[in-house]
Chains A and B, each alone.
Chain A
Amino acid sequence: MFKIFKIILLTFLGTMCIVPIIYLLIFSLAENWFYPQILPSNLTWKHWKYITQSGNNLLSGFILSLFISTSVGLVSTFAGFITSRFIIKSKNKQTWLFLTYLPFVFSPVILGISVFVIFLKLNLAGTFIGVSLAQLLIIYPFATLFFVGFWNNKHKQLEEIAKTMGANSFQVYQYVLIPASTGMLMVCFFQSFLLSWFEYGLSSRIGIGKVKTLTIIVFQYINESNSIYAALACCLIIIPPTVLLILNKRILFRKIA
């Protein structure tokens, strides 16, 4: 009985995950899909060919998003890793933690409006660096908080042993703390990447229409009621997270467990 229930539940969950993806894929290939047809009358690759055509912004948006999310993911993971260590050791731990939580009090859009003038004066609005920095305002504290809960007495003891063995502070990170935390670093990078990849509020505000990430393009197509291209962009948008999920599968589902 339990086995049957388990199979039903897994099938249900699997269907819930896969059906929207299949739907988006069919939608991106559809030609003349009108109500009440269950499936489109024709399927075509012509929308997908549009990606490679000059003058469209889907491919450039995809590459730009990939650059921004990879940079933001890497910087926030390593900065968060080191910052969290300082916070844990600090005498003013509570104050630092409060400041780290502060960006989450605002929604990304409100945060974007608040810092927009500064970005404008620094000539960072509408630039790749500006959008990356804006995203770091949210994702760097996230990575810091992610690692604050990670450090424990065992790490402290490993650090102490390494130091008395002759390792300086840099070597402690290089040979002990970073290699011993590879799994958590990868998970944090993965989550930071996802946050950056799907970020809309801050990116659209600071990007002022000049930095068009894939997420912004998706919203643009939706606003234009261009459902087929929105579906096409959505198909592109799920590729990197899916690849990362497959790469991280072992760590996410085995190592942490």
Chain B
Amino acid sequence: MLKADFIYKSYHQDKVLDNISLEIAKGETLCILGKSGCGKTTLLKILSGLETLEKGNIFVNNKSVNLIPPHLRNIVYLSQETLLFPHLSVFENIAFGLKVRKVNNLEIVNSVNEMLMKLDLSEHSSKMPHQLSGGQQQRVSFGRALIINPSVLLLDEPFGKLDSDTRKQMQEFYRIISQKFSITSLFVTHDLKEAMTMGDKIGFMKNGHLKIYPSVKDFMEDSETGASKERDFWTNLID
């Protein structure tokens, strides 16, 4: 479970995050929609410990993690780019988290092979990242994150660089694995449709403020989100 209370961050004189609070229950996905530069990435980096926060508190499973460095938080941050380690094979990329935790070799081999099978990547295990398609790279990236059983997964527009077909496939893939692995995640996107379909809860971020909606209906009815405008556009187009 992830809980953040009154997160505040500024750069020089500009407020980037203004008292943001959120709560994600175990196995739940919170989707945050927001335009570029609204502070989404900064929020994720603060939650993962990659950026320092000025004010506020972050709790993981009811324990404060404010002073815990990123490598001990067990919160995995996946950036916009599908960045696999270029010098490691698919197998080695997935094994990375276990290797740095000094898990014994036999256990690593078993766990990675199991993960490769679950992600339908077994036949690509010895390939290098540049030999994979965008979708395959994304799956390896998820496998690399999931194998260490993170408390929270932070996804920063993970499908933003994929073409529309692959993106659709990956959204479906993510829905399946988030249920299968019961992932607690915060999914950030600037794509309205993606935000509405990927999360259990939905939030909207603007100028460093975050508003979380009780239901998709409430989200649709708020004129600020632009969801109703989008719906009207498609309705008028069909009519």
Contact = CB atoms under 8 A, between A and B. Distances in A.
Contacts of B67: none
A166 B101 contact: yes
Contacts of B71: 163-168, 171
B50 A154 contact: no
B77 A164 contact: yes
Given A160-B50, A171-B100, A180-B86, A165 B148 contact: yes
A175 B99 CA distance: 9
Contacts of A158: 83, 85
Contacts of B76: 164-165
A240 interface: no
B75 A164 contact: yes
B188 interface: no
B78 A161 contact: yes
A165 B85 CA distance: 12
Interface residues of A, number: 18
B79 interface: yes
B interface residue count range (under 10 / 10 to 19 / 20 to 34 / 35 or more): 20 to 34
Contact of A165 (B49, B69, B100): B100
Nearest to B70: A163
A154 B85 CA distance: 10
A180 B70 contact: no
B148 A161 contact: no
A175 B50 contact: no
A154 B148 contact: no
A44 interface: no
Interface in A134-177: 154, 157-158, 160-168, 171, 175-176
Given A180-B86, A180-B87, A165 B79 contact: no
A131 B7 CA distance: 55
A182 interface: yes
Contacts of A182: 87
B57 to A, nearest CB: 19
A154 B75 contact: no
B27 interface: no
A163 B97 CA distance: 10
Please indicate which of the listed interface residues A160, A162, A165 has the most CB atoms of chain B within 10 Å of its own CB: A165
B73 to A, nearest CB: 7
Interface in A3-25: none
A157 B77 CA distance: 10
Nearest to B77: A164
B114 interface: no
B8 interface: no
Nearest to A154: B83
The 7 closest A-B pairs by CB, nearest first: A163-B70, A165-B97, A164-B77, A167-B100, A179-B87, A180-B87, A164-B76
Interface of B: 45, 48-50, 69-79, 81, 83, 85-88, 96-97, 99-101, 144-145, 148, 154
Given A161-B83, A165-B71, 8 more contacts: A160-B70, A162-B96, A163-B50, A164-B73, A165-B96, A167-B100, A171-B71, A180-B87
Interface of A: 154, 157-158, 160-168, 171, 175-176, 179-180, 182
30 contacts: A154-B81, A157-B79, A158-B83, A158-B85, A161-B77, A161-B78, A161-B79, A162-B96, A163-B49, A163-B50, A163-B70, A164-B48, A164-B70, A164-B71, A164-B75, A164-B76, A165-B71, A165-B148, A166-B71, A166-B97, A166-B101, A167-B71, A167-B100, A168-B69, A175-B85, A175-B96, A176-B85, A179-B88, A180-B85, A180-B86
